[in-house]
Amino acid sequence: MAYIGIDLGTSAVKLIIMDRNGSVMRTVSKDYPNHFPQSGWSEQDPLDWYNRTIEGLAELIVGFEHQIEAISFSGQMHGLVLLDEHDAVIRPAILWNDQRTTAECRYLNEDIGIDTLNRLTANKALTGFTAPKVLWVRAHEPEHFARINKIMLPKDYLLYRLSGCFATDVSDASGTLYFDVEHRCWSAAMLDILGIKEQQLPKVFESFQVVGHLHAELAAKLGLPANVKVVAGGGDQAVGAIGTGSVDDRMCSLALGTSGVVYVATDTFTPDNTNAMHVFADGSGYYHIMGVMLSAAGSLKWWRETVLGNSNYSGLDGELAASQDNAVFFLPYLSGERTPINDADARGLFIGMDNATSSTDMTRAVVEGVTFALYDSLCVIRNMGIQVDTVRVTGGGAKNNFWCQLIADVMHVRVERLAQEEGPAYGAAILAAVGSGAFADVRSACHQLIQVQQVLEPSDTRVSYYRKKYGQFKEIYPSVQGLYKTLLSR
């Protein structure tokens, strides 16, 4: 049998077929446009998601049609999709990276109050979350708000169109700010605050649960069996963690993509009283704590390509390995920062250069600065009483040996690199397999399918060196924090 994983990203949908042994037999990717109607706005047409997905499915399944047993999903989180009583899209989807809801977040955090939000949802309001978007539509597009019959998240629109089931999962719902994360259900009090009804929201499932079957007409059109199961799926970070096998209690995955994510699975609900981290339900039946930085590998790309004009990364690992310890520091806040400082005004900064400083010294400072910023989130998680000693590194940065060893030394952890990395689409395929009964549960599936290729241990000498340098790094941001608003107001 075979299983399909569909990852609805911000720029493309990626589809894979996985067999029972975890081997990926084919992948297909289909792009779609982003729309930026005003500064700080970010939207997409849900019909583009559906049309590209159907095109991708038609290509993906050729030769495998009669082997497909189940389909599941991963998706960009926090987006707002609105349908009317005829299931027509009311307006373009407002995406996770849309910044129009500053006033709505201020209302939620200050007027409703962070303590209330914590009690109801375990998180405070951020511009990316869904609840502020609902308030924005209510305030600025009342004619659209009055037509709302269904409110859903991006991947749930695909699920609805493919199966007819109005459903979501606990991990994606956790990022709405109207979901009770601890009790894994919609928060009635938050729905009252937003002016919406539970009937307008999808039924909530665990990520590995079957919600229905593929539409008979669609299955016939694609040449698929009539009984293909549709499994709920989850938010991209939770499903991506499944794709790396980071599902056991206190396991950590660290994503070095354009943005950076520190993700720690936990067996128990553990609120963060500082509100520095996101506390969500996960895709395997438990919970996770997550820190997100906006410019991880993106900082390195900016430095190498925009500043140095060098898009060749083939020699970067050797260049960094040959570099010398130095006193140059970099704050990687090129687009502001989310966790743990939550400062939209923060910006990048080099400090410590002298006449002998080389471009290689500054390249190393960029990589160190990103690692220190990610370590900030891990330190908060450890301060919550959750000890982490192993990290699985994924994303483009995971290909760099120096960077992986740096993570081991800065964070004082064992770093594991995986034999195969297909990202959230692979996690979605695992969920499809679990939902169809191929595995007893998500954890056992990951234990059987995910293979570690290499393990890097921290060096005691380098741990000591970086403990001191990280302490110096921590002094820089508080020293310049007050300047950022002044600089941006000019």
Residues that are catalytic: 236
Residues 6+ apart with CB under 8 A from 440: none
C-alpha span between 434 and 119 (Å, rounded): 32
Closest CA to 63 of 119, 17, 5, 129: 17
Token duo for residue 468: 């001191």
Q: 77 among the known binding-site residues?
A: yes
Q: Is 113 left (phi over 0), alpha (psi -120 to 50) or beta?
A: left
Beta strand segments in 95-190, E: 150-152, 167-169, 179-180, 185-186
C-alpha span between 417 and 436 (Å, rounded): 29
458 within 8 A of 404, measured Cβ to Cβ: no
Query: Cis peptide leading into 340, omega within 30 of 0?
Result: yes
C-alpha span between 333 and 292 (Å, rounded): 12
Q: 447 among the known binding-site residues?
A: no
C-alpha span between 488 and 59 (Å, rounded): 48
C-alpha span between 283 and 186 (Å, rounded): 17
Closest CA to 13 of 40, 35, 46: 46
203 within 8 A of 43, measured Cβ to Cβ: no
Tell me which residue has tokens 């999709």. 81
C-alpha span between 430 and 216 (Å, rounded): 24
- Three-state SS for 443-487 is HHHHHHHCCEEEEECCCHHHHHHHHHHHHHHHHHHHHHHHHHHHH
C-alpha span between 162 and 231 (Å, rounded): 11
C-alpha span between 405 and 395 (Å, rounded): 15
Closest CA to 330 of 131, 472, 449, 210: 472
Binding residues for substrate: 77-78
Binding residues: 77-78
